[in-house]
């Protein structure tokens, strides 16, 4: 069967994937990708609940879907927006709000901001995420946008939730590349670490909600370490609530639009 799509690649396993924009494949815009286990609490961000599902139609030229033998096996989402003077401390959330605000106000975009890259669990470990990142860079450049920014969630930071993000990001291998695998992938693709987004993804809920999401008792005020969280969750028993404020790492991909 011929491979369709804007980008096609053969993986180390011999399987072939085809990558398209959701503008080209609107029928797959909302395809479900089984990425395996994911922390339940991460599904309860209010900005994401309001906007994320709309990105595949509103920004279809910078949202991607990868298939193998016709099956959706990975996707990537990026919004388009006008560049501001500074990368926002609000990271993922702020970029999304700005992008949709620009659409409403008719402000033309000059950059894109990557929101996520997800790969099905049985295709992980074959470099699919890196291929999607490269395709996302190319799709952004094809629109004449001069940069792709990404509020990166480092792969292994959750293993060290009490380590400050500044120290974590500063770690490099002997070859000078970041120690963290996902940061390293971005840098290898041509990105540069441009700063931190200290309040990129916020999840707030009642203690009962947090108990349901995590299985933790949340019976003492103070920091609570939760599996999958990059930093501890702040618990306030007297107020009956807990808040998770996730930092991300801004990576900028400067693009050639010639």
Percentage of the chain modeled with pLDDT above 90: 95
Coil, helix or strand at residue 248:
strand
Instruction: State the pLDDT at residue 36.
Output: 83
Q: What is the pLDDT of residues 13-54, one digit of tens each?
A: 999 999 999 999 999 999 999 888 899 999 999 999 999 999
Instruction: State the pLDDT at residue 179.
Output: 98
DSSP 50-119: HHGGGHHHHTGGGEEEEEETTEEEEEEEEEEEPPPSS--TTHHHHHHHHHHHHHHHTPPPSEEEEEEEEE
Residue appearing with tokens 């609000």: 90
Q: What is the pLDDT of residues 94-119, one digit of tens each?
A: 999 999 999 999 999 999 999 999 99
DSSP 8-state symbol, 23: T
Q: Which two tokens stand for residue 58?
A: 């509103």
| pLDDT interval class at 126 (50, 70, 90) | very high
Instruction: State the pLDDT at residue 37.
Output: 86
- Evaluate if pTM is beyond 0.85: yes
Q: What is the pLDDT of residues 199-245, one digit of tens each?
A: 999 999 999 999 999 999 999 999 999 999 999 999 999 999 999 99
Residues 111 and 84: beta-carbon distance below 8 Å: no
Residue 1 has pLDDT above 70, yes or no: no
Domains and CATH numbers, the chain: 7-199+248-254 (3.40.630.30), 204-243 (no CATH)
Mean pLDDT of the chain: 96
Of the candidates 249, 84, 58, 54, which has an alpha carbon nearest to the alpha carbon of residue 169? Answer: 249
Instruction: State the pLDDT at residue 59.
Output: 98
- What whole-number distance in Å separates Cα of residue 178 and Cα of residue 185? 9
Q: What is the pLDDT of residues 180-201, one digit of tens each?
A: 999 999 999 999 999 999 999 9
């Amino acid at each position: 069967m011929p491979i369709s799509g804007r980008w096609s690649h053969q993986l180390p396993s011999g399987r072939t994937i085809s990558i398209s924009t959701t503008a080209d494949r609107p029928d797959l815009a909302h395809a479900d990708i089984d990425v395996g286990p994911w922390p339940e609490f991460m599904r309860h961000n209010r900005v994401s609940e309001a906007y994320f599902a709309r990105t595949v139609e509103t920004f279809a030229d910078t949202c991607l879907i990868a298939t193998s033998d016709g099956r959706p096996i990975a996707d990537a989402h990026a919004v388009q927006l006008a560049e501001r003077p500074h990368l926002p401390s609000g990271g993922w959330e702020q970029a999304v709000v700005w992008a949709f605000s620009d659409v409403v106000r008719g402000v033309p975009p000059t950059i894109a901001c990557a929101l996520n890259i997800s790969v099905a669990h049985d295709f992980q470990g074959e470099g699919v995420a890196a291929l999607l990142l490269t395709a996302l860079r190319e799709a952004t450049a094809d629109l004449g946008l001069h940069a792709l920014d990404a509020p990166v969630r480092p792969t292994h930071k959750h293993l060290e939730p009490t380590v400050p993000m500044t120290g974590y990001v500063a770690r490099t291998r002997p070859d000078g590349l970041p120690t963290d695998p996902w940061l390293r992938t971005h840098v290898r693709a041509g990105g540069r670490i441009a700063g931190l987004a200290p309040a990129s993804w916020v999840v707030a809920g009642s203690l009962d909600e947090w108990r349901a999401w995590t299985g933790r008792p949340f019976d003492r005020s103070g920091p609570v370490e939760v599996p999958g969280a990059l930093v501890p969750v702040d618990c306030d028993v007297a107020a009956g609530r807990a808040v998770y404020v996730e930092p991300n790492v801004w990576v900028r991909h400067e693009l050639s639009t010639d």
